[in-house]
């Protein structure tokens, strides 16, 4: 019979006949396997004690017709020694092994992430590194996330109500995420808004600490591609709704009367502020990511692609939402929360809508998370360049700073709800005003002047860097536009936003 070698953890054993056992293992290279260990229940067995639950062993296995046969077993780590002497650790270890057995369904299919997670959990239990219950709960949540069952942290798992700071929230492992006051169950425990914000910050800096390619790129590449495809599908579906034509006309045909009423200056200012925000220009996030690019493609060409894709997604989002508003009688002036009002109606009336809705809001969560990571990467890159810190130190220090700086956001709609700062605005609206009307255009102006004036980098140096590589080039004749026209336009937007 063919032989293969592997390393694994014993998850459980079942008696077979008078002296044998069927051993279920989670292995490094072959995933979950079930194999027969012959004669291990006899007292003179050579390796019976090495094939008990919680043991990490090196194996020599012979392929069989229905079940493989363990020919040899060498002990690598005897986790059982430290676990079986503590009842709480023993209970948590059983939960870990049973969870791994249930989550890894397909046999002989490699699952390195689950294997490493089981090793880490059992190792921590054997050394009593933390409370056994905490290790068990942490393992279950991370194992579920790896298996695709990520907990829902943005809305109630029962009714779907988005989280807000003005009411209590509860978290339940068995329910799979957050629960509102109305729907929470007895076993759920109270979670403060502060804890939710802190969890977001911690997750963001954890991803950034892994680096762009190991962190942000791996997470966002698949998710954003899937979200883009799903947006196109939903936009096409919106055209089939009753009343879709009226919604499309409302969205795409300009209303000159409304523009005159609001003022063309305010319309342009709001549009430009949105452009600064959606492209992350004013806080230099786009510039930071640009500095990580290879020199194979020109910056102008990549910038044009990004602007085109960003505009395409924005247009598609409007084609999804506004036809649905007119079809289901939703007020179109409801603002950003329209996505949580119109889209549930769309998904309810779609074939397979529950699946489409789940995928869409999962991808949306990753999209919003990538924005947070972009801001954090900007801060970390500054510290690494200015102070010579490594990535992990920059992530740790800035994580602490951001956790403290986020307190106004946490307290703005509860403890500080009566506090009004800039022009009678509350705390969060004041922060939004500072970012949208001051930091974004002001930061863009400073960055522009640095690139095109002799007091900074200089236009010629900027032009050489921007035109390196294949793709769209910036003409040298545009120098007066960059040096005189653009600064005046941005300054106008800045002043308009402050008036």
Q: What are 292-324's pLDDT values in tens digits?
A: 777 888 888 888 888 888 888 888 888 888 887
Query: In terms of pLDDT, which residue wins out, 245 or 339?
Result: 245
Which sign does the torsion angle of CA 383, 431, 285, 497 carry? negative
In a 3-state reduction of DSSP, which class is residue 59?
strand
pLDDT band at 165 (very low <50, low <70, confident <90, very high): low
Q: What are 27-64's pLDDT values in tens digits?
A: 988 889 999 988 888 877 777 788 888 999 998 888 88
Query: In terms of pLDDT, which residue wins out, 334 or 475?
Result: 475
Of 36-50, 97-111, 207-221, which range is least confident? 207-221
Distance CA 56, CA 47 (A): 13
Q: Which of 461, 274, 455 is nearest to 487 (CA)?
A: 455
Encoding tokens for residue 472? 């769209």
Q: Which residues contact 299 (CB under 8 A, 6 or more apart)?
A: 290, 293, 465, 466, 467, 468, 469
Q: Which residues contact 332 (CB under 8 A, 6 or more apart)?
A: 250, 322, 325, 326, 338
Q: Which residues contact 39 (CB under 8 A, 6 or more apart)?
A: 19, 20, 45, 48
Q: What share of the chain is helix, strand, coil (3-state, %, to 5)?
A: 60, 15, 25
What is the chain's mean pLDDT, rounded? 81
Residue 77's H or E segment, with its range, is strand 68-78
pLDDT band at 170 (very low <50, low <70, confident <90, very high): confident
Phi, psi values for residue 263, rounded to 5°: 105, 125
Average pLDDT over residues 275-290: 71
Distance CA 56, CA 53 (A): 9
pTM: 0.54
Residue 57's H or E segment, with its range, is strand 55-62
Q: In the chain, pLDDT over 90 holds for what percent of residues?
A: 5
Distance CA 332, CA 334 (A): 6
Contact between 378 and 285 (Cβ < 8 Å): yes
Q: What is the pLDDT of residue 246?
A: 86
pLDDT at 166 over 70: no
DSSP symbol at 242: T
């Amino acid at each position: 019979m063919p032989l293969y070698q592997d390393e694994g953890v014993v998850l459980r054993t079942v008696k077979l006949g008078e002296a044998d056992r069927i051993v279920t293992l989670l292995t490094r290279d072959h995933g979950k396997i079930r194999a027969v260990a012959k004669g291990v229940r006899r007292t003179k067995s050579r390796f019976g004690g090495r094939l008990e639950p919680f043991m990490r062993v090196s194996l020599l296995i012979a392929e069989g017709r229905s079940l493989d046969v363990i020919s040899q077993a060498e002990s690598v780590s005897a986790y059982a020694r430290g676990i079986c002497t503590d009842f709480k650790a023993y209970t948590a270890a059983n939960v870990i092994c049973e969870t791994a057995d249930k989550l890894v369904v397909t046999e002989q299919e490699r699952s390195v992430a689950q294997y490493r997670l089981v090793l880490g959990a059992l190792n921590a239990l054997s050394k009593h590194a933390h409370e056994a219950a905490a290790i068990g709960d942490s393992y279950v949540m991370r194992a579920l996330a790896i298996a695709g069952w990520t907990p829902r942290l943005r809305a109630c798992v029962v009714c779907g109500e988005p989280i807000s700071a003005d009411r209590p929230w509860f978290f339940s492992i068995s329910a799979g995420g957050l629960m509102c006051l109305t729907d929470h169950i007895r076993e759920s425990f109270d979670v403060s808004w502060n804890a939710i914000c802190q969890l977001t910050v911690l997750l963001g800096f954890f991803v950034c600490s892994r680096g762009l390619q190991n962190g942000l790129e791996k997470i966002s590449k698949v998710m954003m591609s899937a979200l883009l495809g799903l947006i196109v599908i939903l936009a096409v579906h919106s055209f089939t709704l009753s009343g879709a034509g009226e919604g499309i006309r409302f969205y795409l045909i300009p209303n000159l009367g409304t523009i005159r009423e609001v003022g063309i200056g305010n319309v342009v200012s709001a549009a430009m502020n949105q452009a600064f925000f959606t492209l992350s220009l004013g806080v230099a996030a786009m510039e930071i990511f640009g500095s990580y690019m290879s020199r194979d493609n020109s910056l102008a060409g990549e910038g044009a692609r990004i602007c085109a894709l960003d505009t395409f997604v924005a247009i598609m989002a409007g084609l999804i939402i506004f036809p649905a508003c007119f079809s289901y009688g939703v007020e179109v002036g409801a603002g950003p929360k329209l996505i949580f009002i119109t889209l549930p109606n769309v998904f309810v009336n779609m074939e397979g809508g529950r699946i489409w809705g789940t995928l869409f809001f999962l991808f949306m969560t990753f999209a919003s998370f990538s924005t947070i990571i972009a801001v954090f990467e900007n801060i970390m890159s500054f510290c690494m360049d200015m102070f010579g810190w490594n990535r992990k130190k920059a992530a740790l220090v800035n994580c602490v700073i951001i956790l403290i700086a986020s307190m106004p956001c946490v307290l703005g709609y509860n403890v500080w709800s009566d506090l009004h700062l800039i022009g009678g605005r509350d705390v969060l609206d004041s922060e939004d005003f500072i970012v949208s009307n001051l930091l974004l255009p002001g930061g863009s102006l400073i960055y522009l002047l640095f690139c095109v004036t002799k007091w900074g980098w200089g236009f010629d140096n900027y032009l050489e860097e921007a035109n390196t590589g294949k793709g769209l080039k910036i003409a040298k004749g545009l120098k007066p536009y960059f040096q005189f026209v653009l600064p005046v336009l941005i300054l106008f937007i800045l002043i308009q936003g402050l008036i």
